[in-house]
Structure 1
Amino acid sequence: MTSIIYKISPRTAWQQAESAGRFTGAPVDLADGYIHFSTAAQVRETAAKHFAGAADLVLVAVDAAALGADLVWEPSRGGALFPHLYADLPMSAVLWAKPLPLGADGVHLFPPLAD
């Protein structure tokens, strides 16, 4: 599996997580019982499908290996495997967090991503 996974979060929720030292999840994560992540190959589609037109977002890169056995790869969209974290996300696993702005065309502008 890929070594870097990505989380899209509202900026205010991410700021609260940074202050707390851990991210417990967005409402959809809490409802599903795990924190949703995407790979570099999946995250643009995730943004388009679940965050279309949303501004003031943050893209968070996470070291998948740092999450251990709590990170599970499970089938989702069309059978593709998506990373799901069955625990809080510790800030120690975060590689970086960057703004995820909307372009003039309403599509999110991603920084360079690594697998």
Structure 2
Amino acid sequence: MTLIYKIFRAGEWQALERDGETTGAPVDLADGYIHFSTAETAPGTAEKHFAGEDGLILAALDADTLGDALKWEPSRGGALFPHLYRPLRREEVLWAKPLPLRGGAHDFGDLL
């Protein structure tokens, strides 16, 4: 199993729960794919794109089950990031947990 992670704002997570699928956040829609992170890159993603935001949800998925629509592409610093070129379905999420903001930084604790 290869775990990958998606950081959701509360409203985005609620919409996924309600609708059963999502095409992602505004940045995902603009780029044409849903952005994910690895355990190594998730803290940097939180710092760069969600700095100071509270009420976030960290969701884990098994990359091996997402099929050919998941592409690993170079991004920040040449690191490979998983990008999903189709809607994400709620049933593909293995777990989702709050990503607390403590002292101005997101505390991943034992989530990754």
TM-score when normalising by structure 2 = 0.95
Q: Is the 8 A contact 1:17 1:24 kept in 2?
A: no
Residue 53 of structure 2 is aligned to residue 41 of structure 1: no
In structure 1, stretches of 5+ residues that fail to align are: none
SS in 2 for 1:8: strand
1:18-37 mapped onto 2 (5 Å cutoff): 18-37=17-36
TM-score when normalising by structure 1 = 0.92
Q: What number of residue pairs does the alignment pair up?
A: 112
The corresponding residue for 2:104 is 106
- Percent identity of paired positions between Structure 1 and Structure 2: 61
Q: Is the 8 A contact 1:3 1:65 kept in 2?
A: yes
Q: Deviations over 1:5-40 (max 9, x none)?
A: 000010111111111111220000000000000000
Deviation above 4 Å: which 4+ runs of structure 1?
A: none
Indicate the RMSD between aligned Cα atoms, in angstroms: 1.2
Q: Is the 8 A contact 1:71 1:85 kept in 2?
A: yes
What is the CA distance between 1:77 and its match in structure 2?
0.7
SS in 1 for 2:105: coil
The corresponding residue for 2:7 is 8
The corresponding residue for 2:77 is 78
What is the CA distance between 1:113 and its match in structure 2?
3.7
